[in-house]
Amino acid sequence: DAGITQSPRYKITETGRQVTLMCHQTWSHSYMFWYRQDLGHGLRLIYYSAAADITDKGEVPDGYVVSRSKTENFPLTLESATRSQTSVYFCASSDEGRGGTDTQYFGPGTRLTVL
């Protein structure tokens, strides 16, 4: 039971490059989320998805793009990376979005450094 996995775990890139962070869950959870964690800000929601082909913005979506063609995958793309996007990125999933009744399960995180 793999649960929720993220790849890569560590990534160093340069300003202006495109970067894609992968997230995969094996539970067939309907909801998936991307958060970033920064010192002083805590965890902030970037994008979320209620089901395949349904995505919506969170608190800090600028500079990010998501897609969800399959229930189990939710990639996050930085189209042109900036230094301010240096952060730890967490993917999460949960089942049942109606009324927000269920627990969110988090992946191990991807530490991204933009030089």
Partner 1 sequence: KQEVTQIPAALSVPEGENLVLNCSFTDSAIYNLQWFRQDPGKGLTSLLLIQSSQREQTSGRLNASLDKSSGRSTLYIAASQPGDSATYLCAVNSGYSTLTFGKGTMLLVSP
List contacts with partner 1 (CB under 8 A): 31, 33, 35, 40-45, 48, 50, 56, 58, 90, 92, 94, 96-97, 99-109
Smallest separation, CB 16 to partner 1 (Å)? 28
Cis upstream peptide for 75 (omega within 30°): no
Q: Which amino acid is at 61?
A: P
Q: For 78, how many CA atoms within 13 A lie in the half-sphere containing its CB?
A: 26
Smallest separation, CB 88 to partner 1 (Å)? 9
Toward partner 1, which CB reaches closer, 28 or 103? 103
Smallest separation, CB 92 to partner 1 (Å)? 8
Q: Which is nearest to 34 in space by CA: 24, 26, 45?
A: 45
